[in-house]
């Protein structure tokens, strides 16, 4: 396909960045604020400058490249993602959003298009959250959403986030200088690998994201009574695991109520006490992860789950306790941006499906500050956070071309 963006340059940069922190043939380990992270960020910085952007590192460890517009006071159009990775990660997660964003802006400059509003490309610090246990650090940082105690969180070697930031060259005492007034950001666009199998299944290179699901986390504890597996008759048992399995089955049916809805529910952790072959399970604890893009539907499913825990526990003679482990509300993508993306897709002969994001992204937080839009790029078998993560150069180019075209509409050149 004939694209305006420079697909060769983009592919070359992606491979070059993948050399930093490379593990095995295709893997990457570039933990936030590590030596490899810094090296990667410095490389991206040279590319930003090559493109003609003025660059800076902020105090959260983010890298920002800025192109002034005809109206320097207009709120900026921001494009970004992250280049930090999981310890045994892949080369596309995050990086395609940063380098694709840069490619879009560089293409605009090379085509002598001067935007009305300023454009910024941002490479957010610590999206993954592996090293200090909490992620989306840079995007929360610029919006003033950090929680108390985050700087004191230490990695497995005892290095705190504060120390790592200082080592990187940032000054945590000057965070306020790096915060944005949301009035100064008009739009945020992020291209990311899908991290799921839907685009592959639908044979589509890219998709337009409708929203980012908000997770609801709960823990359930069921208390029954232990007894010998051979001697206690079935009708006299208070078997916590039998109850738990019924609840899990019921939870699955609840979440599947509407097969067109993107709702997903998972019991990912289950603890059985005493966990022996010949003893009736006395106590079972399990986690609930419930995600949806529709808050009302998610609330409804949570209510139904709670009813079902009560009813099934009573049936099995179990005591139960449901603990609230928090969660976040779903985030909607801007309808304006989604419309622009679908209109612009036609000009490149694509008809991307609309899909939701089940995973978090920096865009989740940016949605609190401005209109947000996301493009997903097909990834092989939906695999991510693993060296087997793979997207083709062609698919990434298609996503970047759409990013470019959508950006042009938003900067109102």
Residues of this chain that interact with Zn ion (CB under 5 A) are 93-94
Minimum CB–partner distance for residue 280 and Zn ion (Å): 44
Minimum CB–partner distance for residue 131 and Zn ion (Å): 15
Minimum CB–partner distance for residue 127 and Zn ion (Å): 5
Cβ closest to Zn ion, residue 103 vs residue 362: 362
Q: What is the largest CA-CA distance in the chain?
A: 83
Cβ closest to Zn ion, residue 69 vs residue 94: 94
Torsion of CA 68, 49, 397, 112, to 10 degrees: 50
Side-chain-side CA neighbours of residue 238 (13 Å): 13
- The one-character DSSP state at 323 is E
Residue with tokens 């090559």: 50
Do the beta carbons of residue 51 and residue 106 sit within 8 Å?
Answer: yes
Cβ closest to Zn ion, residue 93 vs residue 294: 93
Minimum CB–partner distance for residue 97 and Zn ion (Å): 8
Cβ closest to Zn ion, residue 94 vs residue 265: 94
Cβ closest to Zn ion, residue 129 vs residue 182: 129
Residues 6+ apart with CB under 8 A from 349: 1
DSSP run (H or E) holding 287: strand 283-292
* Chain residue whose CB lies nearest Zn ion: 94
Cβ closest to Zn ion, residue 93 vs residue 401: 93
Cβ closest to Zn ion, residue 167 vs residue 381: 381
Q: Which value, in Å, is the radius of gyration of the alpha carbons in the chain?
A: 24
Residue with tokens 């420079």: 6
Residues 6+ apart with CB under 8 A from 316: 222, 224, 237, 238, 239, 240, 242, 243, 246
- Is residue 87 classed as helix, strand or coil in its secondary structure? coil
Minimum CB–partner distance for residue 336 and Zn ion (Å): 24
Minimum CB–partner distance for residue 34 and Zn ion (Å): 17
Minimum CB–partner distance for residue 363 and Zn ion (Å): 10
């Amino acid at each position: 396909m004939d694209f305006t963006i420079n697909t060769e340059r983009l592919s070359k940069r992606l491979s070059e960045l993948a050399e930093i922190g490379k593990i095995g043939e295709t893997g990457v380990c570039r933990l936030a604020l590590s030596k490899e992270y810094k090296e990667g960020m410095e490389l991206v910085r040279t590319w930003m400058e090559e493109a003609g952007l003025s660059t800076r590192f902020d105090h959260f460890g983010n890298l920002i490249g800025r192109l002034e517009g005809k109206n320097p006071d207009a709120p900026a159009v921001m494009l970004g993602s992250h280049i930090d990775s999981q310890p045994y990660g892949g080369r596309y997660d995050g990086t395609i959003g940063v380098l694709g964003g840069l490619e879009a802006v560089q293409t605009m400059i090379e085509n002598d298009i001067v935007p009305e509003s300023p454009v910024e490309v941002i490479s957010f610090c610590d999206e993954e959250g592996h090293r200090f246990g909490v992620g989306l650090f840079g995007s929360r940082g610029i919006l003033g959403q950090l929680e108390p105690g985050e700087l004191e969180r230490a990695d497995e070697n005892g290095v705190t986030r504060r120390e790592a930031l200082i080592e990187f060259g940032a000054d945590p005492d000057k965070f306020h200088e790096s915060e944005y007034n949301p009035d100064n950001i008009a739009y945020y666009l992020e291209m990311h690998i899908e991290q799921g199998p839907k685009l592959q299944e639908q044979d589509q290179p890219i998709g337009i994201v409708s929203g980012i699901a908000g997770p609801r986390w709960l823990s359930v504890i069921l208390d029954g009574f232990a007894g010998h597996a051979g001697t206690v008759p079935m009708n006299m048992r208070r078997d916590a695991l039998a109850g738990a399995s019924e609840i899990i089955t019921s939870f699955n049916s609840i979440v599947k109520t509407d097969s067109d809805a993107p709702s997903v529910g998972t019991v990912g952790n289950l603890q059985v006490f005493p966990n022996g072959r010949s003893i009736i399970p006395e106590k079972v604890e399990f986690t609930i992860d419930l995600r949806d893009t529709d808050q009302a539907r998610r609330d409804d499913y949570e209510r139904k789950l709670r009813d079902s825990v009560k009813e099934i526990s009573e049936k099995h003679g179990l005591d139960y306790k449901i603990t609230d482990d928090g969660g976040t509300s779903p985030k909607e993508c801007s309808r304006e941006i989604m419309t622009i993306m679908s209109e612009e897709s036609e000009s490149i002969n694509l008809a991307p499906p609309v899909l939701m994001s089940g995973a978090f992204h920096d865009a989740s937080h940016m949605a609190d500050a401005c209109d947000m839009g996301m493009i997903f790029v097909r990834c092989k078998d939906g695999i991510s956070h693993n060296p087997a993560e793979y997207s083709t150069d062609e698919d990434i180019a298609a996503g970047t071309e759409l990013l470019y075209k959508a950006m042009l509409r938003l900067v109102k050149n």
